[in-house]
Structure 1
């Protein structure tokens, strides 16, 4: 039986000089944790840590959410195939 769990988050351990943090997706598959970077970074104000999603007032919200969804689907296909 496979168990897949997924969450998006900003890495709080890494904060760039321009006060942004890289956005990554963390997967849990069969007890193994895998972190996949999205290649984008967000200002801390643009991330809702409680909701684990891009904040509603983020200027580029739709594009960022699209990238999260696309990478999630792509990685989920790879892990199940």
Structure 2
């Protein structure tokens, strides 16, 4: 009878270890998901930089247009 109890304890212990392994796997998935989210945030930051760069280019274009208008006014066009 004691042997059966020990066997049951071994099975219970093994089941607990399986639960731990599953839990660790889930945590690994969470860490991977967080890594993917960090990549998304980095990608969004790059896109924000691109938008800022485009806005600066738009300002440059506007400045050039103003200069062209000034030159045209001076020439009387």
Answer whether TM exceeds 0.5 for this pair.
no
Normalising by the residue count of structure 1, what TM-score does the alignment of the two structures yield? 0.27
**In terms of Rg, which structure is larger?**
2
Highest relative contact order (Cα 8 Å, sep 6+), 1 or 2?
1
Higher fraction of helix = 2
Higher strand share: 1
